[in-house]
Amino acid sequence: MAQEKHSEIKNKRHAEVQINEDQRNSPTRSRKNYITAKKKATKSLKSRNDTVEVMYHAVLKRVTALYSSLPKNEDRVIVEMDMKLHPLDGEQMHAFLTPHYLLFLECDHFNHYRVEYCFHQCPLEAEIKAIMEEFLINSYSTEIRKMPDYSTYFKNVLQCQPERFIRVL
């Protein structure tokens, strides 16, 4: 199925979108943990991190394919950001959010790559969990269990992020 550009969100918070754009264009640069990890981590940790990143992107590819098969457009809205390019966020490397699921790749201050994820009334939860198990990513991931109002969180993300990060699969 072809990807569509997501139509502009109603009630877009343009001031907050501008703040996000200004942060992304900031001349100030924070220390990126993944860069430090590539330079200073032990050989075995570098290998582990490379494996986690490859597994993350493999899972992401399969999850994206699953989401593109959902019948309703509103279920196929995604926000995807390459956080390696964000000058002020030192930990996050990649972010993928849907109305029912989020998947983050991060690097902590101890040079360990990790994956965080959360389900919210996800119609594909069983399939996604099976994919994560297939790639053994559970060993390097943490499920965020206490997100009290994920629906509101996702709507806020849609309202605050620039349109270039939002699309319909």
pLDDT in tens, 19-77: 656 666 666 667 889 999 999 999 999 999 999 999 999 999 999 999 999 999 999 99
Residue 165 pLDDT greater than 60, yes or no: yes
Lowest-confidence range among 47-61, 83-97, 102-116? 83-97
Tell me if 56 sits within 8 A of 131, measured CB to CB.
no
Partnered with residue 119 across adjacent β-strands are 101
Residue 5 pLDDT greater than 60, yes or no: no
Report the range out of 33-37, 86-90, 125-129, 161-165 with the highest average pLDDT: 125-129
Give the pLDDT of residue 30. 73
Give the pLDDT of residue 67. 97
CA-to-CA distance for 169 and 159, rounded, in angstroms? 18
Provide mean pLDDT across the span 123-151.
90
**Which pTM value belongs to this model?**
0.83
